Amino acid sequence: MSKNLTHIDAEGDARMVDVGAKAETPRKAVAGGLITMSAEALEAIKAGDTPKGDVLGTARIAGIMAAKRTHELIPLCHPLGLDAVNVDLAFEESGVRVNATASLTGKTGVEMEALVAASTALLTVYDMAKALDKGMVISDVRLLEKQGGKSGHWKADSV
């Protein structure tokens, strides 16, 4: 087995990385994505006229809650005491863009927490508005930026 695979042991089995000896450092990650939809669904969300109520507010809370439970969803993630999670939703011409930021001072990064927050917020928008448009498309979910840890600062191209 390659020694570059941190989550694989010498026998090739999945394992959780031991971060016990690592120093705590400030860490931050930003992830985002987009959900596109019909003009009618978008207008209903903007007007607050959807069958399930406040779409953006509910999606924001769902994203925050999901980030805090990432370790329950992604098998090899460490449970983390997050310092902050922010989920921002913004209207675009054909849908809603989500950006989620997770941060802490700790021994491991928060990229997965930011990605889970963004993904869950997008899925919640879909759930809240699916009665208006079942053909909505979630796309472009990705890490946009990370800071801290051994690999330092990284930012996606064309953010």
Q: Determine the Cα–Cα distance for residues 109 and 101; give it in Å rounded to an integer.
A: 12
- Active-site residue identified among 127, 133, 140, 157: 127
153 known member of a binding site: no
Q: Roughly what angle, to the nearest 10 degrees, separates helices 55-68 and 111-129?
A: 150
112 known member of a binding site: yes
Q: Determine the Cα–Cα distance for residues 106 and 26; give it in Å rounded to an integer.
A: 6
Q: Roughly what angle, to the nearest 10 degrees, separates helices 111-129 and 39-47?
A: 100
115 known member of a binding site: no
Buried b (16+ CB within 10 A) or exposed e, 119-136: bbbbbbbbebbbebbeeb
Residue 23 tokens, joined: 């120093």
Active site residue 54: no
User: Are the C-beta atoms of residues 98 and 63 closer than 8 Å to each other?
Assistant: yes
Q: Binding site, residues? A: 76-78, 112-113
Q: Binding site for substrate, residues? A: 76-78, 112-113
Residues forming the active site: 127
